[in-house]
A = this chain, B = another copy of it.
Amino acid sequence: MSPSLVTNNGDVATVKTAPVAGRLAAVYSEVQTSRIDHALPLPSVLRNPFKIVDGPPSSAAGNPDEIAKLFPNLFGQPSAMLVPNGADSIGSDQKLKIGVVLSGGQAPGGHNVISGIFDYLQDCAKGSILYGFRGGPAGIMKCKYVELTADYIYPYRNQGGFDMICSGRDKIETPEQFKQAEETAVKLDLDGLLVIGGDDSNTNACLLAENFRTKNLKTQVIGCPKTIDGDLKCKEVPTSFGFDTACRIYAEMIGNVMIDARSTGKYYHFVRLMGRAASHITLECALQTHPNITIIGEEVAAKKQTLKNVTDYIVDVVCKRAELGYNYGVILIPEGLIDFIPEVQQLIAELNEILAHDIVDENGLWKKKLTDQSLKLFEFLPQAIQEQLMLERDPHGNVQVAKIETEKMLIQMVETELDTRKQAGSYKGQFKGQSHFFGYEGRCGLPTNFDASYCYALGYGAGALLHSGKTGLISSVGNLGTPVEEWTVGGTALTSLMDVERRHGKFKPVIKKAMVELEGAPFKKFSSMREEWALKNCYISPGPIQFVGPVSNAVNHTLLLELGAQA
């Protein structure tokens, strides 16, 4: 039976097999339809019989003794590398039962990881079953799942979003929750579990792997590096998936806004970009588009800058540009900027305490509990930002930085400082700020060819790792600066990415977020060019993502520069 997807224009695109649920009723655009049948290249090592070769024992990113105590079964595991194996492939007769789960925020390519592991099982372990846990880790705990078939998966190939099985932000943390996960593993007779997520989710994956080993369950756990923020990476995991697509979507919009700025000649566009903890997205977008000003949170933190410092830096550039006759520009700001500013961190910490324990009275008596410095900063902030800082906390008790309109705050602060300079006679230009926030638009776009291929290889490789009995590894695909067929495939010990943090008197394992390195190649490239970008107009407009043609297989600057620096 060969049912059909109806395209937007009423044309009928034949679908190979019948979708039985999920996007069954979906009407696809022509581009979506064209993407379903986009052929996914595999690294050559996955296209031929391969075996797995272990490397030397691993350690940890920090505090190896504590990590060894926390992961007695898994600590020290070697990395695994797939290599060609003449005629025979690994464990070809074994049928597997595997579960897969999406954890945390969306990133373009998640569906392709699932397609990848599914195809591995079809190709190399016929008769295997793939379960998709619904709604994130909660799906594991509640044993809420769907059996993923070729029909079910087909319409999601190369498509954005996580809606095939949806995601969630729950964690498996307490003994009861681990118990629930064990019950599900036993009930479904799971040989393996693939956890697709960010740093927290991969830490959790490793804890699960350790726990299953401790309980003598056969269920192996493999992680997969997902986050548009790009802050889950190390030497063997050169990038997290979704980063490439999200940056290209944001860069398209930034490039358009730049042409608008240059054409109109009268606006400063302040663009806030998603990326809470690290400023990789902002840096990559800067490298793609050459804005006049780019604020990198890690640099602000390293230089212990204040909000006033950041404002003054912007105002200085605005004034110099005005002298050159340019009363317009484009400024990129990372979403998490205020988290990087020590004085703001201090203020937020005090506000968290007050909000948790005190009554915030309308007369503002509560402000007396602030330290002088924090009170001064609070009063210095525009009113809208004051209100946003007082909004409800997220489930972890943190300020929801995505809700703080840093770009508008900076516009107001820049306006105020420019007024002062105007009165002092040192600025004679015109200033009009326009604010933008590019966030949700980038998380669920159609994956670029890079992310589509990378995710497919990550998923396919994860299947091979599980099939060969590996656990506690993160799927690792390398050599990404070369054509897909030359990519390397393997797994890296999750414990080797870990350090510990002390929370509530206990050591907790964490995969440290990979921050923008001020000595790294991407930042150095940026910092070598930013003065030129500030005063000249070197704007680049990357245009919309192309899926066919010579420009469709480019690799992002951050990755290329980091690979180049490694080489």
Copies, count: 2
CB distance from A514 to the nearest CB of B (A): 24
B543 in contact with A546 (CB, 8 Å)? no
Task: Tell me, yes or no, whether A315 is within 8 Å of chain B by CB.
Answer: no
Task: Tell me, yes or no, whether A87 is within 8 Å of chain B by CB.
Answer: no
Task: Tell me, yes or no, whether A278 is within 8 Å of chain B by CB.
Answer: no
Give the residues in chain B near A56, CB-CB below 8 Å.
Answer: none
Partner of A547, one of B25, B249, B536, B546: B546
Task: Tell me, yes or no, whether A29 is within 8 Å of chain B by CB.
Answer: yes
Scan A257-274; emit 1 where CB is below 8 A from any B CB, else 0.
111101111010100000
CB distance from A533 to the nearest CB of B (A): 10
CB distance from A287 to the nearest CB of B (A): 9
CB distance from A157 to the nearest CB of B (A): 14
> Which stretch from A317-325, A440-448, A502-510 is at the chain B interface?
A440-448
B540 in contact with A263 (CB, 8 Å)? no
Partner of A161, one of B263, B440, B549: B263
A549 in contact with B548 (CB, 8 Å)? yes
CB distance from A364 to the nearest CB of B (A): 17
Give the residues in chain B near A219, CB-CB below 8 Å.
Answer: none
CB distance from A405 to the nearest CB of B (A): 10
Scan A235-266; emit 1 where CB is below 8 A from any B CB, else 0.
00000000000000100110111111011110
B548 in contact with A263 (CB, 8 Å)? no
Partner of A544, one of B9, B539, B544: B544
A166 in contact with B30 (CB, 8 Å)? no
A160 in contact with B541 (CB, 8 Å)? yes
Task: Tell me, yes or no, whether A512 is within 8 Å of chain B by CB.
Answer: no
Which residue from chain B places its CB closest to the CB of A435 in the assembled complex? B437
Task: Tell me, yes or no, whether A163 is within 8 Å of chain B by CB.
Answer: yes
Residues 509-546 (chain A) with a chain B CB within 8 angstroms: 536, 538-546
A28 in contact with B441 (CB, 8 Å)? no
B445 in contact with A544 (CB, 8 Å)? yes
Give the residues in chain B near A460, CB-CB below 8 Å.
Answer: none
What's the dominant secondary structure at chain A's contact region? loop
Please classify how large the interface on chain A is, using the bins under 10, 10 to 19, 20 to 34, 35 or more: 35 or more
Task: Tell me, yes or no, whether A467 is within 8 Å of chain B by CB.
Answer: no
A160 in contact with B538 (CB, 8 Å)? no
How far, in whole Å, are A545 and B549 apart by their CA atoms in the complex? 13
Partner of A440, one of B27, B260, B288: B260
Scan A421-445; emit 1 where CB is below 8 A from any B CB, else 0.
0000000000000101000111111
B106 in contact with A263 (CB, 8 Å)? yes
CB distance from A456 to the nearest CB of B (A): 18
How far, in whole Å, are A166 and B28 apart by their CA atoms in the complex? 39
Which residue from chain B places its CB closest to the CB of A9 in the assembled complex? B554
Which residue from chain B places its CB closest to the CB of A544 in the assembled complex? B544
Give the residues in chain B near A28, CB-CB below 8 Å.
Answer: 540
B541 in contact with A253 (CB, 8 Å)? no
Residues 383-402 (chain A) with a chain B CB within 8 angstroms: 384
A440 in contact with B544 (CB, 8 Å)? no
**A contacts, CB < 8 Å to B:** 8-9, 25-32, 34-35, 106, 159-163, 166-167, 249, 252-253, 255-260, 262-265, 267, 269, 288, 290, 384, 434, 436, 440-446, 536, 538-551, 554
Contacts A/B (CB < 8 Å), 18 sampled: A8-B542, A9-B554, A26-B539, A29-B255, A29-B541, A29-B542, A29-B543, A31-B542, A31-B543, A34-B550, A159-B541, A166-B265, A252-B544, A257-B440, A257-B441, A445-B544, A546-B546, A548-B549
5 closest A-B pairs (Cβ-Cβ)? A31-B543, A544-B544, A161-B259, A259-B444, A260-B444
